[in-house]
Structure 1
Amino acid sequence: MRKIKFQILIPLLLISLVGCAEQKLLERVGLAILLGYDLGNEGDLSTTAVIRQVNPDFESNIEIISAENQTSKGTRTKINRKSSKKIVAGQLRVALYGNELAKKKGISTSMQALSRDSNISGSVYMAVVEGEAKTLLNYKFENISDIGQHIFKLLQQNIEDEQIVSSTLHEVSHDYYSIGEDIAMPIISREEELIIISGVALFKKGRMVGELPAEDSFYIKLSRDRYDSGTFEVLIKYEDLEEGFMENPPEEISLVLDTIKSKSDLKLINQSTPEFDLNITMEARLLELDEEIDLGEPKNVAILDKAISKSLSREISRVITYCQEVNSDVFGLGSQYRSSVRNSDLTEGKWHEMYQKAKVNVKVDLQITRSGTAD
C-alpha cells in the first residue's frame, strides 16, 4: 500500500513543480503575439508589438509597444527596453506589413529576420495592412479586447475555409526564394469597428506591386492549388448561356457554388513565346441560384455547367492579365517554365521580362454534382 501511494505521489509532485516553473516563467516574460512593421522616419523601420503579459493569477493583459530602428532586430531590442518583462517571440502568430512599407521598401529584410529566428514557427500568418499597421493595432475597438488573437483567428478561419490565399511564413519564404514564383498575401483593413480582409497583395519578389479585390483570391487559388471545400459566388453573363435557354433572361445570373473540388494542370506548350495551357477541372454543388431554373432537367444543368465554365475561364484570364501588367507571377508560370525547359539558365530578371509577354490559354471544365440538399 505504501508503495502504491509513493508511486502516485511522485507524479503529482512533478506536475506541481512543472506547473510552478511554468507560472514563474510566464510571470517573467511578455509573449509577442503579433508584430506590425511600418515605414518609419527617414527610412527607418517602425515595429509595433502586441504583447500578452500574464500575472501571478494567470490573468492576461495586452500591451502594445512601438519602436523605430534601422533593422527589425534593432526595433525588437528597443521594444524590450520599454517593457518590464523580457519579450519573447516563441508564441508569435501574425506578422503585418503597412501598405507604404510593402510598396516602397518591401518586406524582404524583416521576413528574412523572422525566418532565421529558430524560436519563430513557419506557420506564422503574414498579411498587408491598408494604411499603417501601427494605426490599426492602436485603434481602440469597442468589441476587440485582444487584437493580436482577433487578427490571427480572422486569417486562420478564412485560410482554412479556403476563402483567401494562404500566406504563412514558410509559404511566403518559399515563393520569395523560388525563381519564377511571387508572393500573394491577404490585405486587411479597418471598417469602422470591424477588421476585414479587403484584398490580395501582389508582390514582385519582396516588393508589393499591385492588389486585387478579396474575391479574386478564389481565381488565384483555383489556378495554382487544389480546392477541397470552399464556397464562392459566380456571375454568369447572358451571353454565356445558350440562346433560348430562358425567357426574358437578365443580363447576369448570380449563383453560389460550394463543396468545391478542383485540380489544375499547367503545361508549357511553346517555350519561345512562352505559351501555357492551364486546364482546371472542377466538381461543385450548386447551393443557391437567383433565377427560377428547373434543375431537375439534366439539359439545364449541362447548360449551366458550360456557362459557369466560360465565366470562370474569363475571370481567371482577367486576373492573369492584371498580374502580368504589374509583373507579379503569383501563378508560378516561371517555375513551370524552368522545370520544363532544360538548361534554361532562367534568372529572376530574365523571367520577369518574358512573363509579361507570356500567353496563357485558360480552360475550366466544371461539373455540377448536386444542385442543393434537396436533390
Structure 2
Amino acid sequence: MKPILKISRYICLLFILTGCVKKEILDEISLIEGIGFDYIDKENIQGTVVIPVYLPDQPPKNNTFTAEAEIKKSILQDIQREAADPIVTGSLEVVLFSKTLSEKVGILPLVDAFQRDPAVGAGLYLAVVDGETKKLLAGDYGIRGNADYISKLLEHNVKNEDLPKTNLQLFLADFYQEGKTPFLPQIKHIGKGKMAINGISLLRSGKMVDLIKPDEMFSFKLLVDKYSEGMHRVKIDNGEAAIRSIHSSHNYELTKRNPTEITVHLKVEGVINEFTGQELTPKLMHKLQEQFEKDIRKECIAMINRFKEKEIDPIGFGHFVKTQTRNFDFNNWRENQYKDLVVKIKPEVKISESGVIE
C-alpha cells in the first residue's frame, strides 16, 4: 500500500501546482512580434507594436497599435487599452529604434526594459531605422508578417552577406564590456513592400555616433566577425571578378608597447564566380589576390583611423589589450593610449578559379 500512497500524493501535488500556473490560451491573447520606438521630444517617445492576425488560407494581416509615453512599460499599458485581447511579448522577434531617437535620446533605457522581461529571448533582433519605425512597421512586405520579414532579412544578411552577428545578447555583452563599442544594423524603407540594410550604427553610451556605410561593411565584418559565406567584387585593369563563397577568420596580435601596436591577421578564402575580362590566367589570379589584399588593408586602416578620431572602438582593441596586460588602466587607455594606437593589417587571400567567365 505504501507505494500506492506515495504515487497518490505525487498526483495530488501535481494537480495543485498545475492550478497555480497562469494559463494563456493562444486564441485569447495578442502576441507582439515587433515593436518600434520613435522620437517625439526629449521626454516622450512614440511606440508602435505589430501584431499579426492569422486567417485561414490567407497571408497574415498586420495590425499595428501606437501610443505615446515616457517608458516602454507605459506604452504597452496604453496599447492594452486599445486591444481586444491581452498583449504579451513572448513571440517578440524585432525591436526597432528610429535614427533620430538613437541620436538625440539614446536607446539604453528601452533596451534595459527588454533585458529585464523574462518573456523576451536573448536572440531578439535590435535595429536602427533610417526614418520612422511606425511607417516601416505599417508597410506590407509580402506573405510573411512584417516582424518576421525583418527578422529573416537580418538573419539572411548575417549568414550570407556583410552583416556581423547581432542580437540582444551580443549587444548587451558589447555594451557592458569595457573597451568595446556596441553596434546595431540599420535598415531603411526603400519602396513599396521593400526595405534594405543601409549600414551599421555605432553607439557610444547608448547614442548613435557613426555609421558604417554599405560599401564598408565587408571590411568591418572581417575585423569583428567571420565569414562562412559571402561575396565581394575586386577590380583590376584586365577586368572585374566576383568572389563568392568567402570564408574568413581574424586574429589579433599585440606586437609592441609604448606606443601600443596591434597586428590584425586576416585570412580570406573564396572562389571566382564571374570574371568580366578575357581568359583568367594564373598571372591574373595572382594579380586579383594582390589587389584584394590591398583593398582590405586600405579600407580597414581608413575605418580604424576614423574610429580613433571619434573615440569609439567597435572592434574591441581596448578589450583585447586588457587581456594581454596586467593591471590595465582603462582611463589611461581612453585618454592617451588609444589615440596613439598603431594598427597593422596583414591580409592573406586565397582564391580559386570557378564558375562563369564572361
- Fold-level similarity (TM above 0.5): yes
Letter in 2 for 1:73: K
Counterpart position of 2:311: 327
Kept in 2, the 8 Å contact 1:49–1:64? The answer is: yes
Kept in 1, the 8 Å contact 2:274–2:356? The answer is: no
Alignment RMSD (CA, Å): 2.6
Q: Give 1:303's match in structure 2, choosing from 287, 311, 331.
A: 287
Q: Tell me, what secondary structure is at the counterpart of 1:371?
A: strand
Q: Give 2:325's match in structure 1, choosing from 341, 344, 347.
A: 341
Kept in 2, the 8 Å contact 1:201–1:212? The answer is: yes
Kept in 2, the 8 Å contact 1:271–1:341? The answer is: no
Give ranges in structure 1 of 5+ residues lacking alignment.
1-22, 237-248
Q: Give 2:260's match in structure 1, choosing from 265, 274, 283.
A: 274
Counterpart position of 1:27: 27
2:275 paired with 1:289 = yes
Q: List structure 1 segments (4+ residues) > 4 angstroms apart after TM superposition.
A: 54-60, 142-145
Q: CA deviation at 1:96?
A: 0.7
> Normalized against structure 1, the TM-score is what?
0.82
Counterpart position of 1:174: 173
2:351 paired with 1:373 = no
Partner Cα separation in structure 2 for residue 221 and residue 134 of structure 1? 29
Counterpart position of 2:195: 195
Question: How many residue pairs are counted as aligned between the two chains?
Answer: 334
Decide whether aligned partners of structure 1 residues 61 and 277 sit closer, same or farther in structure 2, where only a CA change above 3 A counts: same
Q: CA deviation at 1:75?
A: 1.2
Give runs of aligned pairs for residues 1-375 of structure 1, distance below 5 A: 25-53=25-53, 61-139=61-139, 141=140, 143=142, 146-193=145-192, 194-236=194-236, 249=237, 253-292=239-278, 294-295=279-280, 297-347=281-331, 350-351=333-334, 354-368=337-351, 370-373=352-355
Render the CA deviation track for 1:5-52: whole Å, top value 9, x for unaligned: xxxxxxxxxxxxxxxxxx981221111100111222452132111112
Counterpart position of 2:11: none
Kept in 1, the 8 Å contact 2:60–2:144? The answer is: no
> Normalized against structure 2, the TM-score is what?
0.85
Kept in 2, the 8 Å contact 1:327–1:352? The answer is: no
Give ranges in structure 2 of 5+ residues lacking alignment.
1-22
Tell me which moved more, 125-134 or 298-307: 298-307
Q: Tell me, what secondary structure is at the counterpart of 1:302?
A: helix
> What percent identity do the matched residue pairs reach?
26
Letter in 1 for 2:164: V
Kept in 1, the 8 Å contact 2:162–2:230? The answer is: yes
Kept in 2, the 8 Å contact 1:27–1:55? The answer is: no
Partner Cα separation in structure 1 for residue 275 and residue 310 of structure 2? 35
Q: CA deviation at 1:224?
A: 2.0
Kept in 2, the 8 Å contact 1:186–1:200? The answer is: yes
Partner Cα separation in structure 1 for residue 340 and residue 205 of structure 2? 19
Partner Cα separation in structure 1 for residue 152 and residue 141 of structure 2? 18
Kept in 2, the 8 Å contact 1:130–1:189? The answer is: yes
Kept in 1, the 8 Å contact 2:45–2:70? The answer is: yes
Kept in 2, the 8 Å contact 1:38–1:132? The answer is: yes
Partner Cα separation in structure 2 for residue 354 and residue 46 of structure 1? 41
Partner Cα separation in structure 1 for residue 24 and residue 226 of structure 2? 46
Letter in 2 for 1:168: N
Kept in 2, the 8 Å contact 1:165–1:185? The answer is: no
Render the CA deviation track for 1:209-228: whole Å, top value 9, x for unaligned: 01122232211111122222
Render the CA deviation track for 1:48-75: whole Å, top value 9, x for unaligned: 1111245799995321111121111121
